Amino acid sequence: MKKGIHPETYRLVAFRDMSNGHTFLTRSTASSRETVTLEDGIEYPLVKLEISNTSHPFYTGKMKLVDTAGRVDKFMNRYKSHFDKKKK
């Protein structure tokens, strides 16, 4: 491993899954402009995530479409006639 390429300024950072509100605390060098106060009363930098292990279908076993930009709906509307033909 090369010396001097890894950061040494790790700090506690709160990561929040925006799809279900789950927040976890870990050491990181990720920068953030937002902060959050957790149950312990201490303020931590907040990094927002779209998906984590608490909401990802692989870990939860539930099929859930995570779509923030409407891409799945656009795809389904575009190919609706194709899916209807397959069902028959």
Summarize pLDDT for 19-67 with one digit per residue, the tens. 888 999 999 999 999 999 999 999 999 999 988 888 777 767 776 555 5
Whole-structure pTM value: 0.63
Closest CA to 17 of 36, 31, 43: 36
Alpha-carbon torsion, ordered 28, 31, 35, 41, to 10 deg: 30
pLDDT at 68 over 70: no
User: What are 43's strand-pairing partners?
Assistant: 37
